[in-house]
Amino acid sequence: PGILTDPAPAVVLAELGGSSVDWSVRVWCNAADFFPVSDALTREVKYALDNAGIGIPFPQMDVHMDQVAAAG
């Protein structure tokens, strides 16, 4: 609801990141509908990914700590 059909919605490859493939979902709507449309679209994309078994990877960092012998 609120998404205009002209111009048509589009999904485009935005960037190949260091550890991600970034897609952009582009739709047009009236200015007054922007926030409800943005919220609904984000939710629907997340639900579709969940239903397809696609998780969202988050950056991970491994920290290794070496013990240093005490001086003296």
Judge whether residue 51 has pLDDT over 90: yes
Distance CA 55, CA 37 (A): 23
pLDDT digits (tens, 9 = 90+) for 1-20: 799 999 999 999 999 988 88
Give the residue, 64 or 60, on which the prediction is more confident.
64
Taking the CA atoms of residue 7, residue 4, residue 13 and residue 46 in that order, the dihedral angle to the nearest 10 degrees is: -170
What's the average model confidence in pLDDT over 20-47?
A: 95
**How many other C-beta atoms are found inside a 10 Å radius of the C-beta of residue 5?**
8
Q: Tell me which residue of 11, 8, 3 sits closest to 37, measured CA to CA.
A: 3
Q: Which residue's structure tokens are 């609904």?
A: 40
Judge whether residue 43 has pLDDT over 90: yes
Distance CA 36, CA 26 (A): 15
